[in-house]
Homo-oligomer: A and B are copies of this chain.
Amino acid sequence: MRNISMSVIRRLPKYHRYLRDMINNGIDRTSSRELSDIMGFSASQIRQDFNHFGEFGQQGYGYNVRHLYDEISKIIGLNRSYSMIILGVGNIGTALSMYNFGNYGFELKAIFDNDVSKIGRNINGREIMSMSNLEKYVAKNPIDIALLCVPAKVAQGVADRLIISGVRSIWNFTSVDLVGPDNYIIENIHLVDSLMTMTYLLNEE
């Protein structure tokens, strides 16, 4: 079991975004009430969320925006860098290889595919490596996050290789619900599920 519930964890990036906007707008000081007004969570939920991690505010003063932002950045783990690899350079893999994930210290280290017509080609200044070199590469270069962008039918097989070779987490862009060991970190972006939620709602009206 994790100490902090996933619903709290998933709110942290949102606090981070709103506090960054406040800094950019020159706002020094805020309160759970004010954050509640702009974010749509209740003030008491916001105070509870922060209390899981420490005492960030002062009675009668509220929160120093910069301090709260820095603390939440640390809690999210943005005080260090993360090594990434991409598996599969179809449309989404190609896009992600060019995507700028903010200036948060994410370092794309290598890109793999098993299509011989792609291996050796350059993408955004990086050579596409053969998937057969995956284990050898990861043994020498510890990887925090693998972006899984391979076709659905090979997704679990590639995920198994990533897990066994010691890659610490998988950001899953395939349509497959991957299976891994307990507490192994798998985060899903199911684009088609998201789209089908919209089509349902479009027909409900």
Contact = CB atoms under 8 A, between A and B. Distances in A.
Contact of A200 (B17, B75, B95, B203): B75
A199 interface: yes
A13 B190 contact: yes
Q: How many copies does the complex hold?
A: 2
Given A10-B193, A187-B198, A17 B175 contact: yes
A40 B16 CA distance: 32
A3 interface: yes
Interface of A: 2-4, 9-10, 12-14, 16-17, 39-40, 75-78, 80, 82, 91-92, 94-96, 98-102, 104, 106, 144-145, 168-169, 171, 175, 177, 183, 185, 187, 189-205
